[in-house]
Amino acid sequence: MTFLQLGLPEELVVVIEKEGYERPYPIQLETIPAIIAGKDLLGIAKTGSGKTASFVLPILTNIRKRKTLKNRHVNVLVVVPTRELAIQIETVFKLFSRSLPEKIKTLAVYGGVSINPQMIALQNVNVLIATPGRLIELLESKSVHLDQVETLLLDEADKLLNLGFKKEMDSIIRCLPTKRQNLLFSATLNEEVDNISQLILNEPIVIKIGVEENDIDAIIQKAFAVEEAKKGPLLRYLITEKDWKQVLVFTSSVYKADSVADKLRKNGIEATAIHSKKSQLARNMALEKFKSGELKVLVATDLLSRGIDIIELPVVINYELPRSPKDYVHRIGRTGRADKSGEAISLISPDEEHHFKVIQKKMKKVVETLSIEGLI
């Protein structure tokens, strides 16, 4: 099956080919025709499955048939949990919409930056991508109206609800017209996601893509047993000795992310920390530099463990383990994306040994633990 056979217009297929997509991923085979047909959809899939293109392409195909709405109304509303994800989805919409003869305007709005430019930009927007808090502010100031929305999409619905956005989601949903297409994507299907899907979805097509298991199989996982005090030297050894183009290092606290990045820099390794205490501008700049390959090492808290797509990231290092096994899977899923393989290395202090066993049990995988003897 080709992208053209799925019902996408030729102009989009040209860009798809330029992007090097040879054939539709499984999720795209199912979602593209369903969304084009105007159906409601529940997609259980995580980043790495080709999920973004699976909704961007059919949404753009449908928008071509619709009129741009006036007076701060939008055709499509995409609600996401984080600013980074908003920016990433905006980029994919822009990449593909540029090829279409119709003028399709996409705008991402999120907190942590000034609201005024967003208010001004909210004219003739076809696709609005928003984090819940900022969207509510824009609704309250009447900078945007949602009563003519034709398609609603919630991405990473599980995270939206985990982060406590339930109340905001209820307020947003109340502003929408009753007749609309609803699309809901979530990495996991838990009770809360099930509740919201029952609330908003109308006879949905349900698509489950088991990427987590596939991803994990594609990732070479290793661990080093190492005293806490030797984690820094071991990290530096690994970064300098191995021939990795780029490394994403995870820590569990903001403080640790800063101190690990500082120490790397003091030792001549270019590194930047990214976490919730950094300004939005600093976060965007660090992410951009990392994505473009300019920055070799990014040290992040779990803020980045979901949703952010960095193509062909060869290795992820857990400087500290995350609390939940799910976050472990999300972290290591930053490597081995789509059909590429990757490496995930965890630095395990004696205090973390038990927790690491729990993670392995949950994941149903045994990870080889290596000794650092002779390395540092």
The residues that touch ligand AMP, with contacts defined as CB under 6 A, are: 21, 24-25, 28, 47-53, 309, 311, 337-338
Nearest approach in angstroms of CB 156 to ligand AMP is 11
Structure tokens at 107: 């705008």
Determine the Cα–Cα distance for residues 180 and 197; give it in Å rounded to an integer: 14
Nearest approach in angstroms of CB 263 to ligand AMP is 31
Determine the Cα–Cα distance for residues 154 and 76; give it in Å rounded to an integer: 11
Nearest approach in angstroms of CB 191 to ligand AMP is 25
* Nearest in space to 186 (alpha carbons), one of 195, 175, 177: 195
- Measured from the CB atom, the residue of 312 and 351 that comes closer to ligand AMP is 312
- Measured from the CB atom, the residue of 28 and 246 that comes closer to ligand AMP is 28
Nearest approach in angstroms of CB 50 to ligand AMP is 3
* Nearest in space to 202 (alpha carbons), one of 223, 219, 183: 183
Nearest approach in angstroms of CB 38 to ligand AMP is 22
Nearest approach in angstroms of CB 309 to ligand AMP is 4
Per the CB < 8 A criterion, the answer to whether 152 and 181 are in contact is yes
- Measured from the CB atom, the residue of 7 and 133 that comes closer to ligand AMP is 7
Nearest approach in angstroms of CB 90 to ligand AMP is 13
DSSP string covering 48-107, please? Answer: TSSHHHHHHHHHHHHHTTSPPPSTTB-SEEEE-S-HHHHHHHHHHHHHHHTTSSS---EE
Structure tokens at 371: 């000794």
**Per DSSP, what are the bridge partners of residue 73?**
145
DSSP letter, residue 108? E
- Measured from the CB atom, the residue of 339 and 353 that comes closer to ligand AMP is 339
- Measured from the CB atom, the residue of 97 and 251 that comes closer to ligand AMP is 97
Per the CB < 8 A criterion, the answer to whether 27 and 52 are in contact is no
- Measured from the CB atom, the residue of 302 and 320 that comes closer to ligand AMP is 302
Q: Around Cβ 234, how many Cβ atoms within 10 Å?
A: 19
- Measured from the CB atom, the residue of 24 and 322 that comes closer to ligand AMP is 24
